[in-house]
Amino acid sequence: MSRHIRRTSPTKVRLGIAGAAVLGAAAVVATVTIASADEPVRQVGAGHAVFVQGNELAGNKIHVFQRGDDGVLAAGGTYATGGKGGDQVDAPTDSLASQGSLVYDDRSRRLLAVNAGSGTVTSFRVRGRELLDRQVVSSGGDFPSSITVSGSLAYVMNAGGVGSVQGFRITDKGLKPLSGSHRSLGLRNKRVPLFSSSPGQVAFTPDGRDLVVTTKSANTLEVFPMLRDGRPAARAVVNRSAGGVPFAITFDASGHMLVAEAEKSTVTRYAVRGDGTLQVLQKPLPNGQETLCWLERAGDFFFGGNTGNSTVTGYRTDRQGKLALTDRVGIAAPPSARSQGVIDLAVTKDQRFLYVQNATSGTVDGFRIGRNGSLTKVTTLTGLPSFAESGMEGIVAV
């Protein structure tokens, strides 16, 4: 059904990085430069780590950091993925232009990473802060840029060419391709896609019954109902997006879908019906910022990354699930000189900390999440691959 999408002209998205002034005073923050070899060892709980995908063109790496109980990060080594990073055409700050390029599966304790420049996906077994048993498999298409997991299934979204999703079984030895699971998205990209016409994310619904893909310039949300054998329906149910340039997907406590829309920095809340159609539960909510692309949940709160002016917006939901801003001007974390080009976000499992990638600066900021959804900066990592020909993208906190 995707091939029957009525094509529209790519929406022009203003993605200039604004050097906005710092708003408000910051708390005392620990700064960690990852090039240093003599960082003090902090008190770290078992398995507390943050993984950052470097997306290096010559050889993709996972940069590992130990996470202290106070949220502060310290360098913990790097691991080659066995593939190459990628850079989409005309990407302004985010080389992969997607959410979910690095995923941790708690059930199998595996870290999954895309190698966009190689058309492959890497699986590691995670033991604390160690990455073991590397396995590299074909993604089943061009320029893989997003991964999602449900139970023993993993699906990879390929952004290049016609675009596609490809399924895998997660086994003790890594990823095993699922025959008959490949589905086309009917796009018209080159092998390395233009950032504005590539799909933004693939995501399972919380119940695992549907697989959803956002397409930016087509302005659609494509839903593949899942069959009992773990394969998607032959054709997607194509839904028009309520907001312009749908990018990132997350879900609230009731299983309703929230979609971040880059054109006007809005978030729309949907119910996914049993037939794959979507019901708008809340119309696009603007945050007053520039180019909202990333969105992650932390309990009843959500945090969005605005790459256009390097801010983070906080949202909260009430008992009825209605979404509102935690701050009336839409800024939970203001920009700073070392926090330019906000892109991907990660929330710890205990929902105490938020980590934010800053592509232009080559930094990661860590924030403590307050009971009211406020953010207090506790750490900044420097020296990560900054955006130039390519840059880091993908972050996981465990």
- What residues pair up with 266 in beta bridges, in sequence order? 261, 286
pLDDT(74) > 50: yes
User: How many angstroms separate the Cα of 19 from the Cα of each of 49, 111, 308, 309, 375?
Assistant: 31, 34, 10, 7, 21
**166/181 Cα distance (integer angstroms):** 6
**177/156 Cα distance (integer angstroms):** 10
Both structure tokens of 61: 């790496």
- What pLDDT does residue 46 have? 52
| Averaged confidence pLDDT in the chain | 90
20: CB partners within 8 A, 6+ apart = 309, 310, 311, 334, 335
- What pLDDT does residue 389 have? 84
pLDDT(359) > 80: yes
- What pLDDT does residue 15 have? 37
Of residues 89, 94, 131, the one with CA closest to residue 113: 131
pLDDT tens-digit series, residues 78-126: 999 999 999 999 999 999 999 999 999 999 999 999 999 999 999 999 9
- What pLDDT does residue 45 have? 44
Of residues 223, 222, 243, 248, the one with CA closest to residue 100: 248
**384/341 Cα distance (integer angstroms):** 13
**102/106 Cα distance (integer angstroms):** 13
**148/211 Cα distance (integer angstroms):** 9
- What pLDDT does residue 30 have? 64
pLDDT tens-digit series, residues 158-190: 999 999 999 999 999 999 999 999 999 999 999
pTM: 0.90
Which CATH number among 3.40.605.10, 2.130.10.10, 1.10.540.10, 3.40.50.150 corresponds to the domain 2-8+46-397? 2.130.10.10
